[in-house]
């Protein structure tokens, strides 16, 4: 970037791209090219800037002006008003929801304010498809200085000092794995990056691969030098085409510039990386299953007692396997020093945590926070709270292996150990906020459905236990729950967690066990009272039309797929409870200014209560 140059950064994370940010970039380039500014203004693509809720985003640097919800039609205004006349385009700025006043710089937006961007420091700043941009921010310097050393012992010492724990979710100290792999015997070793981000509700790894792919490659190369491997694999979901494409571009550029391949930077050390497309199996997030998958086999976690992957891993060779985020942290830790890193975070969890914040929260997006921050701060300060004036009910972390924590845990610090103690887990970084309308029994059923499908079937407890728990949960949500179901669920759940080989099975029951622990009253309402307090489970709710609100517009009757709604134009409509399948289409169809369709907990079908 030249001095005095202004940059128009166009966010091309996956979410902004679905908002047509590619067309926006093209339009900006075209517009700028036709003016005298050409040459003083650069238009470039960036990876996810984080504020996905407000996308597509266009950032003007160095002012840090953040334009939100940009469309192709706004391009003229941005170029003419901001770039040419120096007038910020106010209507495109983020407006503070409380005061209504516009905020120009993203540094002043609360969403960004409480964050600490270490891992994501380049995401939304550099062009992920241009290695020169990465080099411009100090990229590959850590690798360069590592290669000047006789061996990887110093890297290990820094990693140890940093106390970095693996970011895949388990939180195993990174340096121990690295050391074990270094000490393992073998002339051939491998470095594997786990980018098989399969948790529903997670997009952190994807955003890093899309926004800062070279950091991952650099971390892997350093790992290769440290443990003595010459080949690395990145196991990435085939469902992430953009991440795959950017990785391939990055690998190609790194090879051409001598940062990958043989004799890297003239050091004599050779290391190359291959992208492997995961074919879609959640269990492959587990290390032994992942390596088998690269070998071309079914991803069945190896039976215990099993050798460590660091000793017998991919193709039976010593293998260092870490998550995307763990590798991406390495260049930063080496540049800043392990002790510097260890000063951030809590006693047992150092550094920052990255989350994909989504669900019932005002500001969805990709965030990074220091370890130890409270859930409340994340959800209310960064996330902006729960939208539409609804009440908070639960926050889910750790995906299908994690749990749902209630309001009383909002002041829990976010770190590996506190979340584990609460019955959830850090996981890879999905964080889904749920409001009062979310049925916790249904959420448990939802996760069990996922796990039951993804269980590889090796362990009896996991294969049959998840199936049996799912059946019971389906019965409860259908209104067919029986006394004793909850106790039975706990019994099976504890057995599944205890009797399974791999992380998937050992944590499969967590969503059930935590919802039972914290939301037992909801289970009981379903089973004993025959109602769904969140008014979500179809068999346990009813719809009725409020006579004083209905204006007889016929919209609901037209929307009803089973013709259960009777009534003429301009006369109050009535739902035939016997016919009603409780799909909620009438509620959707009723204009919000009337809101004449009421959803109630419990069944009206036999009760005889008429609207």
Residues forming the site for another protein (CB under 8 A): 14-15, 17-20, 52-53, 55, 197-203, 206, 238-241, 276-277, 279-282, 293-299, 315, 356, 358-360, 364-365, 396, 399, 430, 432, 434, 438, 443, 446-447, 450, 456, 553, 555, 561, 583-585, 588-589, 591-592
Distance separating alpha carbons of residues 322 and 234, to the nearest angstrom? 10
Complex with another protein: residue 34 or 200, whichever CB lies closer: 200
Beta carbons of 108 and 65 less than 8 angstroms apart = no
Distance separating alpha carbons of residues 107 and 111, to the nearest angstrom? 9
Q: Which two tokens stand for residue 386?
A: 């729960």
Least Å distance, CB 211 to another protein, is 13
3-state secondary structure 69-101: CCCHHHHHHHHHHHHHCCCCCHHHEEECCCCCC
Distance separating alpha carbons of residues 326 and 414, to the nearest angstrom? 18
Complex with another protein: residue 47 or 139, whichever CB lies closer: 47
Least Å distance, CB 53 to another protein, is 5
Complex with another protein: residue 12 or 349, whichever CB lies closer: 12
Least Å distance, CB 435 to another protein, is 8
Beta carbons of 235 and 196 less than 8 angstroms apart = yes
Least Å distance, CB 455 to another protein, is 12
Backbone Cα Rg of the chain: 27
Least Å distance, CB 15 to another protein, is 5
Complex with another protein: residue 428 or 500, whichever CB lies closer: 428
Least Å distance, CB 279 to another protein, is 4
Q: What count of other Cβ atoms lies within 10 Å of the Cβ of residue 592?
A: 5
Q: Which two tokens stand for residue 268?
A: 């004599």
Least Å distance, CB 246 to another protein, is 14
Beta carbons of 334 and 158 less than 8 angstroms apart = yes
Least Å distance, CB 511 to another protein, is 10
Distance separating alpha carbons of residues 318 and 311, to the nearest angstrom? 4
Q: Which long-range contacts (CB under 8 A, 24 or more apart) does 385-392 make?
A: 385/361, 386/360, 386/361, 386/362, 386/433, 386/435, 387/360, 387/361, 387/362, 388/435, 390/360, 390/435, 390/436, 390/437, 391/435, 391/436, 392/360, 392/433, 392/434, 392/435, 392/436
Complex with another protein: residue 199 or 415, whichever CB lies closer: 199
Beta carbons of 79 and 31 less than 8 angstroms apart = yes
Strand-pair category, 231-237 with 190-195: parallel
Edge to edge, what strands does the sheet with 65-67 contain? 41-46, 6-11, 58-61, 65-67
Complex with another protein: residue 168 or 430, whichever CB lies closer: 430
Complex with another protein: residue 43 or 433, whichever CB lies closer: 433
Complex with another protein: residue 155 or 441, whichever CB lies closer: 441
Complex with another protein: residue 246 or 350, whichever CB lies closer: 246
Least Å distance, CB 493 to another protein, is 19
Distance separating alpha carbons of residues 16 and 57, to the nearest angstrom? 7
List helix spans (H) across 322-439. 324-336, 338-342, 375-376, 416-421
Least Å distance, CB 558 to another protein, is 11
Beta-ladder partners of 499: none
Complex with another protein: residue 164 or 369, whichever CB lies closer: 369
Q: Euclidean distance between the first and final Cα of the chain, in Å?
A: 68
Complex with another protein: residue 219 or 430, whichever CB lies closer: 430
Distance of CA 257 to the CA centre of its chain: 32
Least Å distance, CB 441 to another protein, is 13
Complex with another protein: residue 103 or 443, whichever CB lies closer: 443
Distance separating alpha carbons of residues 303 and 118, to the nearest angstrom? 38
Least Å distance, CB 560 to another protein, is 12
């Amino acid at each position: 970037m030249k001095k005095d140059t202004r940059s128009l950064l166009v966010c091309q994370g996956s979410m902004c791209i679905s908002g047509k940010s590619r067309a926006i970039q093209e339009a900006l380039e075209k517009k700028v090219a036709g003016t005298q500014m050409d040459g003083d203004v650069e238009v470039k693509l960036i990876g996810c800037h984080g504020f996905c809720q407000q996308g597509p985003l266009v950032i003007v640097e160095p002012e840090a002006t953040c334009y939100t919800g940009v469309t192709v039609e706004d391009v003229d205004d941005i170029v003419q008003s901001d770039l040419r006349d120096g007038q910020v385009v106010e209507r495109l700025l983020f407006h503070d929801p409380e005061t209504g006043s516009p905020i120009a710089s993203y540094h002043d937006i609360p969403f960004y304010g409480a964050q600490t961007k270490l891992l994501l420091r380049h995401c939304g700043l550099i062009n992920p498809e241009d290695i020169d941009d990465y080099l411009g921010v100090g990229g590959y310097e850590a690798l360069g200085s590592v290669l000047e050393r006789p061996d990887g012992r110093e890297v290990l010492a820094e990693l140890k000092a940093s106390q970095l724990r693996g970011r895949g979710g388990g939180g195993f100290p990174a340096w121990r794995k690295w050391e074990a792999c270094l000490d393992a015997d073998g002339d051939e070793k491998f470095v594997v990056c786990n980018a098989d981000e399969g948790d529903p509700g997670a997009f952190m790894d994807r955003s890093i691969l899309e926004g800062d792919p070279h950091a991952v490659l650099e971390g892997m190369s350093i790992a290769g030098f440290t443990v003595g491997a010459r080949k690395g694999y990145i196991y990435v979901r085939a469902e992430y085409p953009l991440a795959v494409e950017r990785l391939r571009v990055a690998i190609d550029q790194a090879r051409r510039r001598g940062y990958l391949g043989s004799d890297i930077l003239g050091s004599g050390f050779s290391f190359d990386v291959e992208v492997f497309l995961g074919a879609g199996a959640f269990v492959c997030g587990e290390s032994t299953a992942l390596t088998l998958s690269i070998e071309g086999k079914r991803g069945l976690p190896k039976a215990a007692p099993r050798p460590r992957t660091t000793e017998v891993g991919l193709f039976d060779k010593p293998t260092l396997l870490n998550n995307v985020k763990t590798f991406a942290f390495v260049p930063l830790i080496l540049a800043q020093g392990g002790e510097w890193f260890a000063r951030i975070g809590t006693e047992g969890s150092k550094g920052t945590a990255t989350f994909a914040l989504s669900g019932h929260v005002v500001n969805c997006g990709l965030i990074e926070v220091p370890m130890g921050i409270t859930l409340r701060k994340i959800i209310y300060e960064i996330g902006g709270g729960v939208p539409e004036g609804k009440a908070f009910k639960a926050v889910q972390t750790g995906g299908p292996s994690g749990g749902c924590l209630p309001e009383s845990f909002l002041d829990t610090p976010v770190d590996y150990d506190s979340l584990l103690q609460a019955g959830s887990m850090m996981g890879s970084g999905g964080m889904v906020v749920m409001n009062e309308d979310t049925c916790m029994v249904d959420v448990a059923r939802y996760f069990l459905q996922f796990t039951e499908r993804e269980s590889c079937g090796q362990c009896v407890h996991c294969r049959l236990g998840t199936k049996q728990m799912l059946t019971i949960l389906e019965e409860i949500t259908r209104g067919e729950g029986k006394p004793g179901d909850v106790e039975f669920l706990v019994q099976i759940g504890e057995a599944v967690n205890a009797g399974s080989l791999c992380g998937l099975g050992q944590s499969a029951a967590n969503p059930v066990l935590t919802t039972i622990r914290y939301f037992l009253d909801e289970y009981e309402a379903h089973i004993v009272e025959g109602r769904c307090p969140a008014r979500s489970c179809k068999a346990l709710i009813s719809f009725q039309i409020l006579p004083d609100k209905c204006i007889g517009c016929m919209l609901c009757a037209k929307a009803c797929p089973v013709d259960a709604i009777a009534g003429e134009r301009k006369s109050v409509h009535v739902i035939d409870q016997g016919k009603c399948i409780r799909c909620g289409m009438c509620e959707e169809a009723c204009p919000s200014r009337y809101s004449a369709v009421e959803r109630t907990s419990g069944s009206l079908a036999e009760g005889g209560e008429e609207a």
